[in-house]
């Protein structure tokens, strides 16, 4: 075999190894404290997990996750980093969003399939106010806009107890208030994770810090 051919085979083999290594690294993405591995539902423009376990997700232009209740149009392009939780759990994170365009947001998500999911979102409203928004989708999406908050950060929390989910928020990470309680009405396996979206803009950057996961059932949702 000629030396040039050997070099070509060697380079080709190295490329295959690098591709496999990158694929393996993607499939075994993890964050300390979260169970199992994490996987992307849609690849973001960029992402990073730094040494302090701060997850940063930059979405692409017009990225969204919504089922239009008027005409049934399904938007499912927003990047979501997901993991499989236990049967009961409490997931919390501080969400910071670089707001630029209406509906830019960072969110905590629970996802069964395209028509069974919910998100707890910190979102820029159409009148340019950072707003707490919840969306529950059982076939079609609703869209519940709650209170406006100053600044670009808030603490968000999902608690699951049996078939019931509770969405919370906090301004200090200590005192929590309920935004919504609901069920997805599905037997599908449900994953949970972190989303960045920019339905009307060129992309948004959402950071998730102080990420905690507690595999327990809440006994009193008001505590």
* pLDDT digits 0-9 by tens, 28-41: 799 999 999 999 99
In this model, does residue 143 exceed pLDDT 50? Answer: yes
Measured CA angle at 154 (ends 207, 88), to 5 deg: 85
pLDDT digits (tens, 9 = 90+) for 113-131: 999 999 999 999 999 999 9
State the average pLDDT over residues 47-73. Answer: 97
Phi, psi at residue 95, to the nearest 5°? -110, 125
- Residue 120 exposure: Cα atoms within 13 Å on the Cβ side: 26
Under the banding of pLDDT at 50, 70 and 90, the label for residue 2 is low
pLDDT of residue 30: 94
Closest CA to 194 of 47, 74, 61, 89: 47
Distance between CA atoms of residues 218 and 164, nearest Å: 10
Distance between CA atoms of residues 167 and 122, nearest Å: 12
Alpha-carbon dihedral of residues 154, 175, 191, 207, nearest 10 degrees?
Answer: 20
CB atoms within 10 A of CB 79: 24
Kindly report the average pLDDT of the chain as a whole number: 90
**CA 206 remoteness from chain centre:** 9
pLDDT digits (tens, 9 = 90+) for 161-217: 999 999 999 999 999 999 999 999 999 999 999 999 999 999 999 999 999 999 999
Q: Encoding tokens for residue 146?
A: 């709650």
Closest CA to 75 of 205, 199, 202, 204: 199
pTM of the model: 0.87
- The topology under which CATH files domain 31-214 is Jelly Rolls (2.60.120)
Q: Cβ(99)–Cβ(200) under 8 Å?
A: no
pLDDT of residue 219: 86
In this model, does residue 82 exceed pLDDT 90? Answer: yes
State the average pLDDT over residues 124-140. Answer: 98
Q: Cβ(79)–Cβ(196) under 8 Å?
A: yes
Distance between CA atoms of residues 115 and 94, nearest Å: 27
Distance between CA atoms of residues 19 and 191, nearest Å: 27
* Distance set, CA 218 to CA 50, 90, 138, 165, 214 (Å): 30, 8, 24, 10, 10
**Residue-range domain boundaries for the chain:** 31-214
Residues 6 or more apart whose CB falls under 8 angstroms from that of 180 comprise: 120, 134, 136, 144, 166, 167
């Amino acid at each position: 075999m000629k030396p040039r051919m050997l070099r070509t085979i060697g380079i080709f083999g190295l490329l295959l190894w690098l591709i496999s290594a990158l694929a393996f690294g993607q499939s075994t993405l993890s964050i300390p404290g979260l169970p199992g591995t994490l996987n992307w539902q849609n690849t973001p423009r960029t992402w990073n997990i730094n040494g302090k376990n701060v997850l940063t997700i930059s979405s692409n232009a017009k990225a969204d996750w919504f089922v239009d209740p008027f005409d049934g149009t399904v938007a499912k392009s927003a990047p979501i980093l997901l993991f499989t939780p236990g049967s009961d759990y409490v997931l919390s994170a501080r969400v910071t969003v670089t707001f630029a365009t209406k509906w830019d947001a960072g969110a905590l998500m629970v996802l069964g399939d395209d028509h069974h999911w919910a998100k707890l979102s910190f979102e820029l409203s159409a009148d340019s106010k950072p707003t707490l928004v919840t969306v529950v989708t059982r076939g079609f999406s609703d869209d519940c806009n709650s209170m406006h908050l100053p600044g670009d950060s808030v603490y968000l929390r999902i608690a699951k107890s049996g078939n019931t989910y509770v969405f919370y928020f906090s301004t200090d990470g200590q005192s929590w208030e309920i935004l919504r309680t609901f069920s997805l009405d599905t037997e599908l396996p449900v994953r949970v994770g972190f989303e960045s979206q920019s339905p009307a803009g060129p992309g948004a950057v959402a950071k998730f810090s102080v990420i905690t996961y507690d595999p327990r059932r809440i006994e009193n949702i008001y505590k």
